[in-house]
Chain A
């Protein structure tokens, strides 16, 4: 069941530890969000296109924000981003790359592919909480985005 009043955040992350840290960080921020988690790039596209296990709109509400890891099994985050930016229907969904890498080339590549922000994962839980709070403040409260399709 989904709560249509809560913003939907899609976390594309393969590491169970990072998934759990992000969940805990969301709880700590006290933001009321509907956090959805998928484990790899293909699952992310299934979710976005409502295919396979995500056929119903209930199981795959359109996200207000995507937190995308880069290094994922099967299909990596760059391919997911590239695919999203080729589809008009996903054009208004902000994508934040959330990764361990602060390699200059990765940052450049991320923005070339059309990410809205590139964030390096903090090394501590406190850092995670601050990062999530800042992201939610900015993308859910501050900025104005086009009305989501679907």
Chain B
């Protein structure tokens, strides 16, 4: 079998082409050079095509391009053999190369005819661009609708929480008045019932107030100005002076930059994080809070508190998410939602690194556009 295959390289029975006929140098070399150049081009074309097809997986009918590669490559082989036949008369090999070329050519033609109707349906560049433009417009419209819906949702939260205050005030006040009106005639069990109503109403009033705060953090117009962030921290500390003094909290800050931010919102952000740090430190411990900036866009508020189970690292930023019983730690669980809102409105993100018992490290970024130095 192998011997038979080798027969195709056999040159016996044929003279080299130079010796066959009356070749002038010019005539012979014209054939040789043209064949070699054509062969080189026919090798380069499929090579380039192959690189293109292998790198671009989205090309339609890629198998057809591979067929083109084989067809053009075999054409190149025929031309190269033709050039060498002037010295080396391997006409048998040439015949094999020509048969292969004929085979690939026919296969390519058949494939082309088969693919043509489908290929004609492919959109042209202009059509693709048009479709893209339509798609971009559609996305813009969807984004605008989403922004509008978000706005409506925030307005809704604001209006609902605002309007809820009045009936809550009425329930709370009239329950208190009822208690007073009945005085001594009020049975103990009814007094307890009223106390439950009053306590629940008070809690709901606090939740409504907090919901309003969250809603405002999301909808109030930002007044961005160049602000040394140390001033925001100082303002936050100033507003919590008594609480910080009574807890004997030690707060350190380091290298905070000056940025273009909404001073009120960023102050509220620091205030909520400091407040949380104090709240979630055991009474027997003195809270230590480090406020840092790494010079690379990341701010940190690290405390010595009770820490957070990493399983809750994301959900703690959801409104009214609490990890502890109300009688253990006060508050409705809105503070971190406001922090997230404040950070997101400055184009940044907030996250926490913590382990139970090892303190919490709240980290956040603000948009680089907000940074001044």
The residue on A at minimum CB distance from B201 is A123
Task: Indicate if A125 sits at the interface (CB-CB under 8 A).
Answer: yes
> Which residues of chain A are near B216, meaning CB under 8 Å?
103
**How many A-B contacts if CB must be within 8 Å?**
44
A24-B177, A103-B216 known; A123 vs B166 contact (CB < 8 Å): no
Out of A103, A123, A125, name the residue touching B205 (CB < 8 Å): A123
Out of A15, A17, A126, name the residue touching B176 (CB < 8 Å): A126
A17-B170, A18-B170, A21-B170 known; A123 vs B176 contact (CB < 8 Å): no
A24-B177, A103-B216 known; A123 vs B165 contact (CB < 8 Å): yes
Chain B proximity of A139: nearest CB distance (Å): 23
- Cα distance A15–B167 when bound, in Å? 9
CB atoms of B166 and A124 under 8 A apart:
no
Task: Indicate if B9 sits at the interface (CB-CB under 8 A).
Answer: no
CB atoms of B166 and A21 under 8 A apart:
no
Task: Indicate if B139 sits at the interface (CB-CB under 8 A).
Answer: no
Q: Mark B152-168, 1 if CB is under 8 A from A, else 0.
A: 00000000001101111
A123-B205, A124-B176 known; A21 vs B169 contact (CB < 8 Å): yes
CB atoms of B162 and A101 under 8 A apart:
yes
CB atoms of A123 and B169 under 8 A apart:
yes
Q: Mark A10-41, 1 if CB is under 8 A from B, else 0.
A: 00000101101100100000000000000000
Q: Mark A113-150, 1 if CB is under 8 A from B, else 0.
A: 00000000111111010000000000000000000000
Task: Indicate if A59 sits at the interface (CB-CB under 8 A).
Answer: no
- Cα distance A20–B166 when bound, in Å? 13
Q: Which 10 A-B pairs have the closest CB atoms?
A: A17-B170, A125-B173, A100-B165, A125-B176, A123-B205, A21-B173, A123-B169, A15-B166, A125-B177, A100-B166
* Given contact pairs A15-B166, A122-B169, A124-B169, a sample of 20 additional A-B residue pairs in the complex whose CB atoms are under 8 Å apart: A17-B166, A17-B167, A17-B169, A20-B174, A21-B174, A24-B177, A100-B163, A100-B166, A100-B169, A103-B216, A104-B220, A121-B165, A121-B169, A123-B169, A123-B172, A123-B205, A125-B173, A125-B176, A126-B176, A128-B173
B residues adjacent to A (C-beta < 8 A): 162-163, 165-170, 172-174, 176-177, 205, 216, 220
A residues adjacent to B (C-beta < 8 A): 15, 17-18, 20-21, 24, 100-101, 103-104, 121-126, 128
